[in-house]
Amino acid sequence: MHDLRKTLGQDRYPGYDVLAKRPGPSWNEQTRRVVTRRLSIGVEPQFFTAEEFRTVSAIAARIVPQPTARPPVPVAMLVDEKLFRGESDGYRLAEMPRDGAAWRLGLKALDAEAQAAYGGRFHALVEGLQDVLLARMQSGELKSPQWGSMSSKDFFQKRMARDIVLAYYAHPTAWSEIGWGGPASPRGYVRLDFDERDPWEAAEAGSGDEATVRRINRHVR
């Protein structure tokens, strides 16, 4: 698996904290409510069993490895909340069950593959072996009968990796890392040409010396 720590660990927007926008004119009340709910997410899964949650957490750690210098985005909990609420994309492949059922089937099949190949459940394997299994899933090489009518490749691409990546980038911590300011409502954006920045957007390292960029980003609202 590609190690995203090299990307996610870079401080591309030094001094920028998207939550500084919370009381200001950039966000409306709906955005504030959504962000507050994401920041106050619980610590105990409501959809996954404890064993399933350990596997989801292990998968998330390999798909979106996170820097250790800041609190982690609770990716597995965000996926759990999505499934508990019954939220979905509104479409799916004919061969795949509904989202929650697809996750349960996929986790059961992945554990069966891990047991057959390495003698242990997925979350108990060392990271290198986890990466091997995930790479084989991504390429569709996992063929255990436990997958049923759902292919391992489809589960990886259409459900598992999609839900995990979307969960990561739904969180304000990730917004700060990529310099995003949240929904452009009600303020919107004015300077839309290449390499132009509105005053309420974060400045990126490389567009000036770091001290200047950091000073700009501390005042973005």
Closest CA to 173 of 67, 54, 45, 44: 67
CA 163 to chain centre: 7
Closest CA to 115 of 83, 78, 146, 151: 146
Q: Per-residue pLDDT for 194 more than 90? A: no
Reported for 79-86, long-range contacts at CB under 8 A and 24+ positions apart, including other chains, are 79/103, 79/163, 79/164, 79/167, 80/45, 80/46, 80/47, 80/48, 80/53, 80/56, 81/41, 81/42, 81/46, 81/47, 82/163, 82/167, 83/47, 83/48, 84/46, 84/47
- Structural domains of the chain, count: 1
Mean pLDDT of 49-78: 96
Q: With pLDDT > 70 as the criterion, what percentage of the chain qualifies? A: 95
Q: Per-residue pLDDT for 109 more than 80? A: yes
The single-letter DSSP state of residue 158 is I
Q: How many CB atoms lie within 10 A of CB 51?
A: 12
Give the confidence band of 58 by pLDDT, cuts at 50, 70, 90: very high
Which residues span the domain enclosing 60? 5-218
* pLDDT tens-digit map of 82-108: 999 998 888 888 888 999 999 999 999
Q: Per-residue pLDDT for 6 more than 50? A: no
- Cα–Cα dist 14/205, whole Å: 7
The single-letter DSSP state of residue 217 is H
Q: Per-residue pLDDT for 143 more than 80? A: yes
Reported for 21-24, long-range contacts at CB under 8 A and 24+ positions apart, including other chains, are 21/181, 21/182, 21/200, 21/220, 21/221, 24/221
The CA distances from residue 179 to 16, 64, 110, 206, in Å, are 7, 18, 35, 13
Mean pLDDT of 43-58: 97
pTM: 0.88
